[in-house]
Structure 1
Amino acid sequence: MKRVSWMNMTVMIAILTLLVSACGGGNQAGSKNAEGAGSSAGGSGGKVKISLLNSKGEIQTQLEAAAKTFEADHPGVTLEIMAAPAGTSPFERASTMYASGNPPTMIMLDTGDVEKFKDRILDLSGEKWNADIVENATSLTTFDGKNLAFPLAIEGYGFIYNKPVLDQAVGGQFDPSTIKTRSDLENLFKQIEASGKKALIVSPMDWSLGAHFLPLAYATQNKDMAEVNKFIDSLKAGQTALADNKALNGLLDTFDLMKEYNIDKKSPLSGVYERGAELLGKGEVGIWFQGNWAWPQIKSFDTANGEYGFIPVPISDTPDDFGNREISLATSKRIVVDKEKSTPEQQEAAKAFLNWLVYEEKGQDFLVNQANIIPAFKSITLPAADPLGRSIQEYMAKGQFQESMSVLPADHWAKLGASMQKYLSGAGDRGTLIQEIEEYWKTVK
């Protein structure tokens, strides 16, 4: 829909006001479908202002542009995109806003945080998109038979590789399936460095180390997530000693290898997120541990229109060990709708936005082509617009994936991310790290 002129809009509002007055001033409830909710949610010709707390900083600009497009399609609604401060978990920020009595209409949360707000957020079970969700996408956000969250994206992570750099290193076409063990990975690192490039960069952010890398040790305990959950319960109860845990020690052996080949080895805590994207995009390093959310930043530095993909993080020298050839992925980032402070009109406008994302061409374009998101909806058939998304879809098609740990405690990344940073910098040894992991889990209720 084209944006109408200000004069035409004024005339339209005046006519609507007269019509509503002629009907006794009644205000019909906003429609739940994407076409009707935005326009009817405005009440008697007035604007409804809604807001979304965004915790995916890498798509802030794209979200702001999408909000303007949504507003053009729904003239009765104004949508503000609020950015969660860098380094702050969405749980912390949302909790602070609730404490101040001014929560946003919508909040983008990590999966594990949805339950903490279940008494404050809207039941979304009746929304049409529930029937179009990919399998198991709402199992972790459904309580007492009610789904409380909109699944925003499927995200995966592992070693991102710059294919032209690796092609040069191996003297041909690099095939990620050839990396089945830690020794294979080490040999690849050596080949990259022999070609004149640096093997990889290890980004030291606590969220990367604490929310993504370390949790691989939990997820690879067993293919059955029920068994993984039992393992976590045993950690909470202090019943599991990690010193001899095969998966954890295997992962840390791989991390030791990463430390050795890290381009920032001499100053391992000095790097920032953008540095990894720059060095990989410019082809100065061959590999970066990160997720598909990093594509917009990599693309901004890629001047050769290169190809990229994922290598899973191997945890042993036995090719068939679970995790060695499986990419880590999960439905991540959920959008919830506040019911404590928002008005019925705001709630309907928020629902309209979620429906717009799933069912309108412009919403789908935002998700797939602008934000480089892999949607969690079967009804969205657009292929991934970027090479990292396509790489993840290839692993999914082959069944080569493990479920990411998406319900970790909110402070896991900060506390154990800090422990991993000490280990990365040499300020703490493996024994200290393992002790801190065990002590952390004993404090989790």
Structure 2
Amino acid sequence: MRKKMEKNMRKALAGCLAGLMIAGCLAGCGSKEPAAENAEQPAAAAQEAGGETTADTATDAAADTTANTQEEITFTWMINKVEIKNELEEVAQAYMDSHENITIITEVAGGSVEPYGTRLKAKLGSNDMPALFVTEGPSDYEMFDEYLVDLSDSKLAGMADESLLTIATMNGEVKALPMAIEGFGIIYNKTIFEKAGINPDDITSMEALREAAQLLDSKKDELGLEAVFCLPGKETWIIGSHMGSAFLNGEFEQPADAWNAPTLEWQNQAAYKDFIDLQVEYGIVPQGDTKNVVNLAYSDQIEKGLALGRVAMVHNGNWVSSIIKGISPEMIENDEIGFLPTPIPGYREDCVRVIGTPYISLNAKLDESVQKAAMDFLEWLYTSDEGKDLVVNKLNMIPPYEGFDGFEIKDPLGADLLEYIAAGKSLPSLQNNCPSGFKNFMGEKVQEYLTGKDWDTCVSEMIDKWQELAAAK
């Protein structure tokens, strides 16, 4: 199935992604066909080097020639991908190795220590502002509007599908550029499922998921499991932003409807509770007290849990592949992990959620020379052969731009995500379309529930908070 889909990736995904407002963004990605030859004349620098000449090598050669004559520039790119901090630093170093006048500082923020948005707001209000930084939807575009360069005429905007740019457009300006296609669902260990005699294709409902959890729990000792799940209650972005937003699907027809909604009814909140309860009942419980689940962190779930085979399932996204690869590379190499859908009874029980993409913005408050240097770096990352290889094989990202013919997605979670999208079994995540502050508030209320607060009270407070935040826009 996967091999066949790769051969027809461009055709299959173009239609399927249109419904998610991300149509065509994977053009060429995953195809094993060679890229078309470039008919332009070789650049002199490339001829002297004796290497193959393409538009990319000509551009790279020109950039390298001018690099030594330009002023020395230092800038920061600030990203919310804590799980690939080392890889992001390696990408920056690769660019600096061939651009000696450029120094790139990689700053990664997010997680339970300090929310990314809090850190970004502080940095933009300081004398140490990042040149490139991740922005998370309409609320950020409004809050940080004065810091955002209009990227409508940028080279990368011309390489992205129009639907991707529509998501990041406000008041007729493209406020940010896509970095990758991402999605999340229930990540499971295929080897453990096979040993337990569970067919993952049968898990297309909450009831089936519970039955699988019960079976795995009964075989924990022989499977070498500490528990079936690990719910990282310390991480509001996982239990709220990602997990909670999945159960907002069905409430709104389109992501934009959520942003414009003055109130929230939340018909699926009971299913949200059931999903949390299931992960606690069959999950890791420190010191035998369920209240201690709020002390479990991202690292407990992935590095100390899934990557070591201590748990069979976690709710997270394809970005964790880089972490797992560093701990148990055989899991990635042997295709030992995959996605199960996050089931919502009465709505769609067979879908993963597609975030669409993290977006990156350019700081309008910095000198034009710094802005240009930052954009040159970003364009190198997605247009040069070296950069594209780093995107796919170092950052393990599904690229959102054209021009990636010949680059196969080797990450099993990324490949699974593409299969769900191509099969029409994906839904847009609403996390960045909630009123500003709501997604983290969801996580805080879930933490209160985990430590003993009544669920109905928590839900009532979440609904009231939605109305309050929506009215304040």
Q: When the two structures are superposed, what TM-score results if normalisation uses the length of structure 2?
A: 0.78
Helix, strand or coil at the partner of 2:360: strand
- Answer whether contact 1:39 1:77 (CA < 8 A) is retained: no
Letter in 2 for 1:257: L
- Answer whether contact 2:135 2:176 (CA < 8 A) is retained: no
The separation in 2 between residues aligned to 1:361 and 1:336, in whole angstroms, is: 23
Is 1:408 equivalent to 2:434 in the alignment?
yes
Is 1:95 equivalent to 2:121 in the alignment?
yes
Equivalent runs, 1:207-226 vs 2, <5 Å: 207-225=237-255
Moved more, 266-275 or 108-117: 108-117
Letter in 1 for 2:322: P
Letter in 2 for 1:96: A
- Answer whether contact 1:179 1:185 (CA < 8 A) is retained: yes
The separation in 2 between residues aligned to 1:295 and 1:422, in whole angstroms, is: 30
Q: Deviations over 1:180-226 (max 9, x none)?
A: 11110011111212222332111111111111011112123245445
The separation in 2 between residues aligned to 1:383 and 1:132, in whole angstroms, is: 19
- Answer whether contact 2:184 2:355 (CA < 8 A) is retained: no
Is 1:84 equivalent to 2:70 in the alignment?
no
Q: Deviations over 1:238-261 (max 9, x none)?
A: xx4x5xx2x222222222222211
| Pairwise CA distance, 1:147 | 0.9
The separation in 2 between residues aligned to 1:54 and 1:257, in whole angstroms, is: 32
In the other structure, the counterpart of 1:3 is none
- Answer whether contact 1:202 1:288 (CA < 8 A) is retained: yes
The separation in 1 between residues aligned to 2:60 and 2:204, in whole angstroms, is: 46
Is 1:146 equivalent to 2:203 in the alignment?
no
The separation in 1 between residues aligned to 2:297 and 2:326, in whole angstroms, is: 16
Helix, strand or coil at the partner of 2:381: helix
In the other structure, the counterpart of 1:181 is 205
In the other structure, the counterpart of 2:269 is 248
Q: Deviations over 1:28-86 (max 9, x none)?
A: xxxxx7665676477x5421222111221111111111111111232332211123265
- Answer whether contact 1:55 1:109 (CA < 8 A) is retained: no
Helix, strand or coil at the partner of 1:157: strand
Equivalent runs, 1:125-274 vs 2, <5 Å: 125-134=152-161, 136-170=163-197, 174-175=199-200, 177-196=201-220, 197=225, 198-204=227-233, 205-225=235-255, 227-229=257-259, 232-235=261-264, 240=265, 242=266, 245=267, 247-264=268-285, 266=289, 267-274=292-299
In the other structure, the counterpart of 2:88 is 63
In the other structure, the counterpart of 1:428 is 453
Q: In the superposition, relative to structure 1, how do residues 91 and 229 fare at CA in structure 2: closer, same or farther (>3 Å)?
A: closer
Helix, strand or coil at the partner of 1:288: strand
The separation in 2 between residues aligned to 1:435 and 1:402, in whole angstroms, is: 26
The separation in 1 between residues aligned to 2:411 and 2:202, in whole angstroms, is: 23
Helix, strand or coil at the partner of 2:104: strand
Helix, strand or coil at the partner of 2:127: coil
Helix, strand or coil at the partner of 2:146: coil
In the other structure, the counterpart of 1:327 is 352
The separation in 2 between residues aligned to 1:285 and 1:362, in whole angstroms, is: 36
| Pairwise CA distance, 1:140 | 2.4
Count of residue correspondences:
394
Is 1:418 equivalent to 2:434 in the alignment?
no
In the other structure, the counterpart of 2:97 is 72
| Pairwise CA distance, 1:388 | 0.9
- Aligned Cα root-mean-square deviation (Å): 2.3
Is 1:313 equivalent to 2:342 in the alignment?
yes
The separation in 1 between residues aligned to 2:70 and 2:207, in whole angstroms, is: 67
Q: Rg larger in 1 or in 2?
A: 1
The separation in 2 between residues aligned to 1:331 and 1:226, in whole angstroms, is: 14
Letter in 2 for 1:420: V
- Answer whether contact 2:263 2:467 (CA < 8 A) is retained: no
- Answer whether contact 1:51 1:79 (CA < 8 A) is retained: yes
Helix, strand or coil at the partner of 2:156: helix
In the other structure, the counterpart of 2:72 is 47
Q: In the superposition, relative to structure 1, how do residues 93 and 371 fare at CA in structure 2: closer, same or farther (>3 Å)?
A: same
Helix, strand or coil at the partner of 1:153: coil
| Pairwise CA distance, 1:110 | 2.2
In the other structure, the counterpart of 1:283 is 309
- Unmatched tracts of structure 1, length 5 or more: 1-32
Q: In the superposition, relative to structure 1, how do residues 408 and 38 fare at CA in structure 2: closer, same or farther (>3 Å)?
A: farther
Percent identity between matched residues is 25
